[in-house]
Amino acid sequence: MSRPNQARLDLAALRHNADLVRELAPNANRMAVVKANAYGHGAVTMARELEGRTDAMAVACLEEALELRESGIASPILLLEGVFEPDELKIAAEQQIWVTVDNAVQLEWLENARLSAPLQCWLKVDTGMHRLGAEAGQVAAFFQRLVDCPNSVGTPVLSTHFASADEIERDTTTRQLALFEQLTGDFRALRSAANSPGVLAWPASHYDWVRPGYMLWGNSPFGTAEQANAARLRPVMTLCSAVISVRDVAAGECVGYGGSWRAERPSRIATVTIGYGDGYPRTASNGTPVLVNGQRAPLAGRVSMDMITVDVTDLDPVQIGDPVILWGDGLPVAEVAEPAGTIGYELLTRMPPRTPRVVVTA
C-alpha cells in the first residue's frame, strides 16, 4: 500500500460548474480555459468531461493544444498567447487550432505564412492590463489587415483581458469595459472579455464569448470574500491525506523544523503525511485550517517536504489512519492560500505529479 495522498477529482462538480457558466451567461458562447494542465487537474480528463458542455477550449501554447488533439478532443482550441514562432502557424492550421494575434510581429507572421487552411483569429486588444494586445491606435488597422489576410478566416473575434475583475469594489473593470467599447464598438465582430470573475460578477462583460477557467474547478476567484454566484460553485479537487502519528507534547515544547510553533498548553499533535513535495504550500502559517475527521484544526509548525503537524487538542480523539482534507470539499482552497500568502490558482496549478489524481465518479 502506498501513501494515502490523493487529489480527488469530482466530475459531477465540474459539470455543475460548467452548467453554472451557461446559466449566468446564457447568450454567450463558452470557452473553457484548460491551460496549465487544467490548472493542475489534468487537461485531458477535464477537457473530455467539458466537451459538449462548452463551445471551445483555450490553452497557453501549441503543446497544450496538441496534447488535447492527440487525446481526441475535437472542439476548437484557442492559443491565448498566439504562436511563439511562425512555423507553429502551419501546425495550428492543420489541427484547426485558433490563434490570438497580439502584436505586429504575430500579424506579419500570419500575413507571410503559407498555410494548408486559413485560421480563425482572435485579435487581442489592450484595455489596461498592459501585458498583451494591440494598443488603442493599432486596433482598427490590425483588424482591417486580418479581414484582408487570406490566412485569416471570417471575421476576427475581438478580445480583451481584465486586470482586476476579482476586486468588485474597484472601478478598473468598468474603465476597461468602456475602453473596449470605444475601441471595438464600431466593428461588426464577435467580442470576448469575461474570465471567471467576469462571468460571475460582471454581466456587462459577457459579450459573445466567455472564457472561464478557475471557476470551472469550483473555486471562487474572489478568494474568501463573499460573492453570491461564486457561493454556488462546487470544488472539483479535494486534496486528501491521513494521520500517520499522534503524540502528546508538554506545554513549552516546540514542534517541527525551527521550532516555529510552541505549545502554550499540554497539546495533542497529529502528523499528516503530506508536505510541500506533495503540493501543500510550505509558506502556510501556523493556524492554517486543516480538516481532520471532518473537523477543523490549526496547522502547528512548519510544513515539511512530506509531512505537516496539526494541533488536534480540541478535537474528538484522533487516531492513526484518520482521514485528512487539506482543501476542497468542506475547506475552500482560498482559506489555505491566504495564510500561505498566495491564491488558490497557484496551489491548484502547481500540484506535482507525485500526488495522484483520482477521478471519483458519482
Ligand X SMILES: *Cc1c(COP(=O)(O)O)cnc(C)c1O
Query: Which residue positions form the known binding site for substrate?
Result: 131, 305
Interface stretch with ligand X, choices 90-98, 145-153, 209-217, 296-304 (CB under 6 A): 209-217
Q: Does residue 211 belong to the site contacting ligand X (CB under 6 A)?
A: yes
Choose which of 128, 133, 213, 256 interacts with ligand X (CB under 6 A): 213
Would you count residue 219 as binding ligand X (CB under 6 A)? no
Stretch that binds ligand X, among 45-53, 109-117, 205-213, 235-243 (CB under 6 A): 205-213
Cβ closer to ligand X: 35 or 268? 35
Q: x/- binding map, residues 133-152, to ligand X, per CB under 6 A?
A: --------------------
The site map against ligand X for 169-198 (x = CB under 6 A) is: --------------------------xx--
Please indicate whether residue 257 is annotated as part of the active site.
yes
Instruction: Name the residue type at position 54.
Output: T
Catalytic residue among 35, 207, 214, 276: 35
Residue 142 in grid coordinates:
490590425
Q: From residue 221 to residue 250, what is the string marking binding to ligand X with x (rule CB under 6 A)? A: x-----------------------------
Residues between 151 and 170 that touch ligand X (CB under 6 A): 161
306-345 binders of ligand X (CB under 6 A): none
C-alpha dihedral sign at 283, 37, 329, 321: negative
**By C-beta, is 156 or 213 nearer to ligand X?**
213
Cβ neighbours around 170 below 10 Å, total: 12
Q: Would you give the distance in Å from CA 144 to the centre of its chain?
A: 33
Could you tell me if 333 and 21 are in contact, meaning their C-beta atoms sit under 8 angstroms apart?
no
Residue 33's nearest CA partner among 72, 70, 1, 81 is 81
Instruction: Specify the stretch interacting with ligand X by CB under 6 A; choose among 105-113, 171-179, 207-215, 263-271.
Output: 207-215
* Contact criterion met (CB below 8 Å) for 98 and 79: yes
Q: Which of 7, 80, 237, 310 binds ligand X (CB under 6 A)?
A: 80
Q: Is 127 in the site for ligand X (CB under 6 A)?
A: no
Give the DSSP per-residue string, 105-140. HHHHHHHH---SS-B-EEEEB-SS--SSSB-GGGHH
Tell me the site size for ligand X, rule CB under 6 A: 12
Cα–Cα distances in Å, from 172 out to 163, 167, 195? 8, 9, 15
Quote the Cα angle for 255-258-260, to 5°: 60
CA 216 to chain centroid? 8
Nearer to ligand X by Cβ, of 5 and 196: the residue is 196
CA–CA gap between residue 219 and residue 36 (Å, rounded): 16
**Euclidean distance between CA atoms 117 and 122, whole angstroms:** 16
Residues catalogued as catalytic: 35, 257
By the criterion CB under 6 A, which residues form the site for ligand X?
33, 35, 80, 161, 195-196, 211-215, 221
